[in-house]
Amino acid sequence: MKRIGILTSGGDAPGMNAAVRAVARKAMAEGLEAYGINYGFAGLVAGDIHKIEAADVDGVVNQGGTLLYSARYPEFAHEEGQLKGIEQLKRFGIDALVVIGGDGSYHGALRLTEHGYNTIGLPGTIDNDIPFTDFTIGFDTAVNTDVEALDRIYDTAHSHDRTFVVEVMGRGAGDVAMWAGVSAGADAIVIPELEWDMETIANKIKHNRANGHRCNIVVLAEGVMGADEFVEKLSQYGDFDARANTIGHMQRGGRPTAKDRVLASKMGAYAIELLLSGKGGLAVGIQNNQLVTHNMLDLFDSKHKAELSLSKLNEEISFH
């Protein structure tokens, strides 16, 4: 093994650059060469590939987004696309790859492994919705972005005795909402994994408002419904002077937090160790604070397990 390819795929996440840097630098430390593949699998097929020198990843550890760009490319599900990608790998002399992205991108990674090109997957997504990892690269940053926004919203909620329903990202997972909600001292957190009831929420807000807590925040996971719809339904249970806010795409960007930088750095270096020991088709995760690997095939049959106890915790320590 002499040359490693690196690509980012799916939605971008803060810390992807820290991961790219770690993969490339660790590769160099082991005497390998690193090649960047732009625009994910699309760029692989198109041959949008370039050598990464040590200086190329200087000063990127703190940058949001991905310097390798990202793109959706469903065509890679077909063998035709895969074979074109393999051709490019041959052309550039790349022996193995590291793919950073959501679990969607692991399908492509597994195909490459099956074609004889060992590929390791790193979990890069703000949604924290990948099985077999407690945390994904980008999650901590997105949560902190939300929390900062919620802190700001709290100021105005508090000044005006208002209720805010704030929609955060997470696709089908409630992790972002739970972490942001607990951190912001939300009155209620609504996530797709747990049953909830509008009347109960309305009653809690009423109870809280009647007892001196007149600024109320509901953190809503996007996987449940939109904030506007929620406000409309909530207002059927009373007048809470409620406003809908959707944090939106800013959750995907920004300088990564220390936790995301360290996690990305660890995982990136670990991916190279795995490749050097001849492994492929593995997804890296962090569980119980230890780096772990799982077979990608196993991931496809599994579902991410959110730390649902945070929901109960929030009920106990929010105003009541």
Residues 21-80 that bind its own copies (CB under 8 A): 21-22, 25-26, 28-29, 54-55, 58-59, 61-66, 69-71
Instruction: Specify the DSSP element, H or E, that contains 88.
Output: helix 79-92
Instruction: Specify the DSSP element, H or E, that contains 181.
Output: helix 175-184
CA 307 to chain centre: 15
**Residue list 290-319, contact with its own copies (CB under 8 A):** 290, 310, 313, 316-319
Q: Tell me the number of residues near its own copies by CB under 8 A.
A: 83
Q: Measured between alpha carbons, how far is 289 from 191 in angstroms, rounded to an integer?
A: 25
Q: Measured between alpha carbons, how far is 303 from 255 in angstroms, rounded to an integer?
A: 29
Q: Looking at beta carbons only, is 4 or 149 nearer to its own copies?
A: 149
Q: Which residues are annotated binding-site positions for substrate?
A: 125-127, 162, 169-171, 222, 243, 249-252
Q: Looking at beta carbons only, is 237 or 319 nearer to its own copies?
A: 319
Q: Looking at beta carbons only, is 114 or 155 nearer to its own copies?
A: 155
Q: Measured between alpha carbons, how far is 37 from 123 in angstroms, rounded to an integer?
A: 17
Closest by CA position to 45, among listed 91, 113, 93, 3: 91
Q: Which residues are annotated binding-site positions?
A: 11, 21-25, 72-73, 102-105, 125-127, 162, 169-171, 185-187, 222, 243, 249-252
Burial per residue of 65-97, b for 16 or more beta-carbon CB atoms within 10 angstroms, e otherwise: bbbbbbeebeebeeeebbebbbebbeebebbbb
Q: Which residues are annotated binding-site positions for ATP?
A: 11, 72-73, 102-105
Q: Which residues are annotated binding-site positions for ADP?
A: 21-25, 185-187
Stretch that binds its own copies, among 73-81, 88-96, 179-187, 197-205 (CB under 8 A): 179-187
Q: Looking at beta carbons only, is 250 or 297 nearer to its own copies?
A: 250
Q: Answer yes or no whether residue 199 interacts with its own copies by CB under 8 A.
A: no
Smallest gap from Cβ 140 to its own copies, in A, equals: 6
Smallest gap from Cβ 320 to its own copies, in A, equals: 7
| Active site residue ranges | 127
Smallest gap from Cβ 3 to its own copies, in A, equals: 18
Q: What x-and-dash track marks residues 230-249 binding its own copies by CB under 8 A?
A: -------------x-xxxxx
Smallest gap from Cβ 183 to its own copies, in A, equals: 4
The CA R_g of the chain, rounded to the nearest whole Å, is 22
Q: Looking at beta carbons only, is 50 or 152 nearer to its own copies?
A: 152
120, 282 Cβ separation under 8 angstroms: yes
Q: Measured between alpha carbons, how far is 33 from 30 in angstroms, rounded to an integer?
A: 9
**Residue list 94-153, contact with its own copies (CB under 8 A):** 134, 140, 143-147, 149, 151-153
Which residues are CB-neighbours of 177 under 8 A, at least 6 positions away? 168, 170, 189, 190, 191, 219, 220, 221
